[in-house]
Amino acid sequence: MSTFKEMGLKSEILSAITDLGYEKPTPIQQLALPKVLESKQDLIAFAQTGTGKTAAFSLPILNQIDSQKEGIKCIILSPTRELGLQIAEDIKSYSKNLTGFKVVAVYGGADIMTQIKKLERGCDIVVGTPGRTLDLIKRNRLNLEGVQYLVLDEADEMLSMGFAEDLDAILANTPQEKQTLLFSATMPPDMVKLSKKYMTDPIEISAGSKQEANTNVTHQYYKINSRDRYPSLKRAVDIAPDIYGIIFCRTRAETKEVAERLAEDGYNTDALHGDLSQAQRDYVMNRFRNRQLQLLVATDVAARGLDVNELTHVINFKLPDEDAVYVHRSGRTGRAANMGISLSLLTAKEESRLRYLEKKIGRKFEKVSIPNGQEICEKQLFSLIDNIKETEIANSHIDSFLPQIFDMFKDMTKEEVLKKIVSTEFNRFLDYYRDAPDLNKTSDKRERERKNDRNNSNDDDRGERRGRREKREHKTAANMTRYFINQGKKDGFSPKLLMGMINSHMGGLSPEIGQIEIMKMFSFFEMETGHTSDLQRAAKQMEFNGREVAIEESSPRPEGNGEQKDNRNRGRGRGSESRGDRGRGRRKESSAGSHGSKRRRRY
């Protein structure tokens, strides 16, 4: 393997990349640098972001450009402004020791006059997004007649974003005589057409095999029931306490919904989609880059400009339509020598796509069972203990409180204290996942098992049944929240109908249901605490006798036999206090456990 020096790079460039800590060329640099340094032949390189491709095309170009000459010598086209800015920044650091060398980035969403002024001052390399580049050409503010190098970076992305016509128009404004370098992760049919039209006898190089996804990525999938998609996503996240990942959705609406549900459930997340302004997108991306957000829910288009090397996971909430997009998604993890997981949530129907995807990436998908509550609780417990062990002790602050703390714990053994500390954090997971269903079973099978359980219990002797009921009622009082529903006897409403509606709209969740009271105009029922948002979301999808269904938290069941009234509005604003001291206290308690940027889940 040659070193950068043996490849013949100028000392000014060598010193700059040494300052950046580049010791030896990456595989794509090893292949591309000699080709561009030694020949004028066009080049197609298969490489993804994260492989060192920016240096692979810019170092040999920088080495050959004469900045004493007038005019733009190289135009680099990139699909997004973020990637364009990144390339321009990289080139600035590679060229910092070359005298008089200048690079300018042009992109949409920013003041065009400022960019025109920069171009007027003269530069050697322009990095641009296709739309803004074409706009500047049409205004006669960008002259590409003298370019010796044309780089199409992430060419497949530019085509899939609909820039084919813009590229045609830009390329028509460049001279015939030039070297064209095309970098792409995949080779969709449109790109074959483009390369045939604009490239002459190109050499093809690839750091791996053509279109092969990064080998640091493990491709996994959960086989899910369609209605379990969201709970399966939660399990994927909960089983990986240190997850730092992107959840890909197919549409803006889906992106918003998933992000909202996750945020309501207490995950540290935000959404990135096309309905946001550029400033809002920048804000979300920055928070994600700085790890203030642990999970980003995004559409493919909106996530394009985001370049983060340390993602542990990419989760495909739903697969994209095009196989090439899957390659891009999964290539966002497993970068810069890190290992990563690309996890897809697939129904039986979607599973049939795998054969094609496997061909595309040249790798096998691994079927992984959806973790159960026990596995998740175990994982969270040990992660919590690890975190406690790693927490730095702020000695000076804590010391003064120690005598009092020791005194407060003096009647407990070390074991008891440890159990209590761990439980304060951990009980929420235990509560949430207690009796959680096995999502690997089909919903039919789960339903059959539930029915069997009920039938078996009919065979039990009465005494035992009474005993169990008493036990359940005891639990009911402690862990149940009571709800009001706007359907009553007059509407033909019944406990059976209520159970059916809840079962079929709760996305595979099976919270325990307590006492049901069907009144004339409305009803009350109890449900295991912690499902208010799931329930209200489910209610939005329910209709009964052509009427919308409304469910609200209610006050606890009154003691005694007094006639039941709709007491939601008594002495307070509608539906406010009804959310219950119990509910509110619980939420407070659970979010109080936040550590730094990682917010605790609320259950």
Binding site for ligand AMP (CB under 6 A): 22, 25-26, 29, 49-55, 336
Q: Which is nearer to ligand AMP, 49 or 225 (CB)?
A: 49
Which DSSP helix (H) or strand (E) runs through 380? helix 373-390
Which DSSP helix (H) or strand (E) runs through 269? strand 269-272
CB-CB contact of 74 with 147 (8 Å):
yes
> Which DSSP state fits 562?
P
* Burial per residue of 442-453, b for 16 or more beta-carbon CB atoms within 10 angstroms, e otherwise: ebeebeeeeeee
Distance CA 503, CA 509 (A): 8
Q: Which is nearer to ligand AMP, 154 or 534 (CB)?
A: 154
- Which are the contacts of 472, defined by CB distance < 8 A and separation ≥ 6? 514
CB-CB contact of 429 with 238 (8 Å):
yes
Q: Report, in Å, the least distance between residue 211 CB and ligand AMP.
A: 17
- Which are the contacts of 107, defined by CB distance < 8 A and separation ≥ 6? 80, 81, 84, 85, 128, 129, 132
Q: Which is nearer to ligand AMP, 252 or 289 (CB)?
A: 289
Q: Report, in Å, the least distance between residue 337 CB and ligand AMP.
A: 10
Kindly report the number of other CB atoms within 10 A of residue 39's CB atom: 11
Transcribe 184-222 into DSSP letters.
ES---HHHHHHHHHH-SS-EEEESSSTTPPPTTEEEEEE
Q: Which is nearer to ligand AMP, 89 or 358 (CB)?
A: 89
Q: Helix, strand or coil for residue 99?
A: coil
Q: Report, in Å, the least distance between residue 25 CB and ligand AMP.
A: 5
* Burial per residue of 109-144, b for 16 or more beta-carbon CB atoms within 10 angstroms, e otherwise: eeeeeebeebbeeebbbbbbbbbbbbbbbeeebbeb
Distance CA 268, CA 141 (A): 45
Q: Which is nearer to ligand AMP, 336 or 412 (CB)?
A: 336
The dihedral formed by the CA atoms of 592, 594, 595 and 598, expressed in degrees to the nearest 10: 180
Distance CA 549, CA 532 (A): 14
Q: Report, in Å, the least distance between residue 208 CB and ligand AMP.
A: 13
Q: Report, in Å, the least distance between residue 125 CB and ligand AMP.
A: 15
Q: CA–CA distance from 485 to each of 159, 237, 246, 499, 531 (Å)?
A: 52, 32, 37, 13, 15
> If you search the block for the tokens 């820039």, which residue do you land on?
163
Q: Which is nearer to ligand AMP, 25 or 373 (CB)?
A: 25
Q: Which is nearer to ligand AMP, 78 or 440 (CB)?
A: 78
Q: Which is nearer to ligand AMP, 182 or 319 (CB)?
A: 182
Q: Report, in Å, the least distance between residue 55 CB and ligand AMP.
A: 4
Which amino acid makes up residue 442?
A: T
Q: Which is nearer to ligand AMP, 52 or 511 (CB)?
A: 52
Q: Report, in Å, the least distance between residue 62 CB and ligand AMP.
A: 14
Q: Which is nearer to ligand AMP, 93 or 226 (CB)?
A: 93
Q: Report, in Å, the least distance between residue 5 CB and ligand AMP.
A: 13
Q: Report, in Å, the least distance between residue 28 CB and ligand AMP.
A: 8
Q: Report, in Å, the least distance between residue 52 CB and ligand AMP.
A: 3
